[in-house]
A and B are shown apart, each in its own frame.
Chain A
Amino acid sequence: MAMTTSQRARLSKTIQIILFVAIIAAVVLSLDWEKTRYAFFSFEKLGPMFPDMIIVGLKNTIFYTVISFAFGLVVGLLLALMKMASFAPYRWFATAFVEFFRGIPAILVLLAFGFGLPQAFGTTWPQPVNIMLALGLVSSAYIAETLRAGLQAVPKGQTEAARSLGMPAWRAMVTIVIPQAFKIVLPPMTNEIILLTKDSSLAFILGASMAQYEMTKFGRDGIQSLDAGITPLVAAGLFYLVITIPLSLVARKFESRSARTKR
């Protein structure tokens, strides 16, 4: 029997809904709710984690992220300019740097800085400095690529107009090109901060004093010290969302605004 297109579409939708409901039901029925609740949702037992989770953990997560990002931004801008330089060795260096730090896991860089720097150079500064240096360098590799793309997206005529008004090359870059590139790279840069916020959790593998803990470290310790399954990690996860979701919203707002002003 032949079916019309709309009949076929309705049948397919019905089957999908039945399948979906069946899968949900199977999961719900097969779960041991007592154990699941204990493992993931024992929020009532998290009392001892607070307020340190927020006043130390959340604070440090934000602090490490912001400082790393600022450092990454400076190094990234330098690398982006080197990548566009006419002097070839600058380009080689920047390319090698970017490929290296982008290509290896961030955790290796973190370990190298946390344990390697004191061993090799006898540095005695606190562990968070190593954390921020490592995270900053890793993010600078990504930032460099984003900035280069942004700078090159500004039409050449802008530089020509600036130069023909008597601006030296650096002035044209600072006053005319970079502000325009900044608008272009805002959405991808927000993305970069979000990634960095999450990467700051890697800091937990380096030993640190309690005052230097970030959120993931609190979560890890909570698993051992509290009888609450992995709920401490769930709590840490929720606090990451408290940082990253507003950032996403800001990014989206910038995106729609730059889309509106774009000619």
Chain B
Amino acid sequence: MTTTNNSMAERAAGVEISDLRKSYGSNEVLKGISLDVRPGEVVCLIGPSGSGKSTLLRCVNLLEKPNGGTIHVGGFEATDPEVNLDKMRQNVGMVFQQFNLFPHLTVLENCTVAQIKVLKRDKAKAHATAKLNLERVGLGDFGGRYPDELSGGQQQRVAIARALSMEPTLMLFDEPTSALDPETVGEVLAIMKKLAREGMTMLVVTHEMAFAKEVADRVVFMDGGVVVEEGVAAEVIGNPQQPRTQDFLRRVLDPTHVDI
């Protein structure tokens, strides 16, 4: 595994976001966000729902079209109208809250379809890569199953393996554990932690504060479409400076002691 780890760390791409703006009609959800993620860095985006963190994440691979600002991902300028989006997205893995596995394909086919159709890999190579990544998420024996035969946690692990099979230089996670049963959250977080240790650049929208504190290099707190506070994970979560951050963390970390 060490060679894989090294090559992953070497290939890891960074993200530079500058003055990003996004509106839906007259509702401005991102009000000029600037944020850098260095190659190999793990950054967690936290904040109340509606704060724009998912929209920010979806702008990075252009699932949402920004209204202003620039995004650089690896060697690509995502916001350049001339950019080859498909080429760029091959390097950016995305994991969704609802998994979005392809239900008509087996677990193995979920992990090979884009390798074969997009990267034009031959079947043998695609299978080998898929198998390797399914083993990485602990599902090496599940290749022949269909997604609806798996638990939520297993499905999300397949979704991670599917993204990894494209050998991305950056991984985006959009609340990857929010749709899971509590007892399966841990298995998904464990894999993300492993991935982080291996040197993958990760941008993670999450409500799992313990994960953010332990795994993230940096935590960014967003509220109302702006970055309110950012810094080293342990400091932002352990000792927040901004009142809005303090208030949010108090509600999240100690939900039974909220004053109404």
Contacts and interface: CB of A to CB of B under 8 A. Distances in A.
Interface of A: 155, 157-158, 160-168, 171, 175-176, 179-180, 183, 261, 263
B130 to A, nearest CB: 13
A155 B96 CA distance: 13
Contacts of A180: 102-104
Contact of B102 (A163, A176, A183, A261): A176
A179 B104 contact: yes
Given A179-B104, A180-B103, A183-B104, A165 B114 contact: yes
B87 A166 contact: yes
A165 B162 contact: yes
B202 interface: no
A101 B163 CA distance: 45
B13 interface: no
Given A157-B96, A175-B113, A164 B104 contact: no
Contacts of B89: 163-166
B166 interface: yes
A164 B118 contact: no
- Kindly state the interface size class of chain B when it binds its partner: 20 to 34
A160 to B, nearest CB: 6
Q: Which 10 A-B pairs have the closest CB atoms?
A: A166-B90, A165-B114, A161-B100, A164-B94, A157-B100, A166-B89, A166-B118, A166-B86, A263-B148, A179-B104
B92 interface: yes
Given A165-B114, A166-B86, A166-B114, A160 B100 contact: yes
A167 B86 contact: yes
Main secondary structure, interface of A, reads helix
B79 interface: no
A1 B86 CA distance: 81
13 contacts: A158-B102, A160-B94, A163-B86, A164-B61, A165-B113, A166-B114, A167-B114, A167-B117, A175-B113, A175-B117, A176-B102, A180-B103, A183-B104
A239 to B, nearest CB: 36
Given A158-B102, A180-B104, A263-B148, A165 B96 contact: no
Nearest to B172: A164
Contacts of A157: 96, 98, 100
B232 interface: no
B63 interface: yes
Given A163-B63, A163-B89, A165-B166, 5 more contacts: A157-B96, A161-B101, A167-B86, A167-B114, A175-B117
Contacts of A167: 86, 114, 117-118
Contact of A161 (B90, B96, B104): B96
B96 A168 contact: no
A161 B102 CA distance: 8
Interface in B53-109: 61, 63, 86-87, 89-90, 92-94, 96, 98, 100-104
A172 B101 CA distance: 13
A261 B146 CA distance: 10
Interface string B129-156: 0000000000000000010100000000
B157 to A, nearest CB: 15
A207 B119 CA distance: 56
Contacts of B98: 157
Contacts of A261: 103, 146, 148
A161 B90 CA distance: 12
Contacts of B163: 165
A158 B162 contact: no
A150 to B, nearest CB: 13
A261 B149 CA distance: 9
Interface in B176-212: none
Nearest to A164: B94
A171 B104 contact: no
Nearest to A156: B100
A69 B108 CA distance: 35
Contacts of B119: 166
A1 B8 CA distance: 89
A164 B159 CA distance: 12
Contacts of A175: 113, 117
A160 B92 CA distance: 13
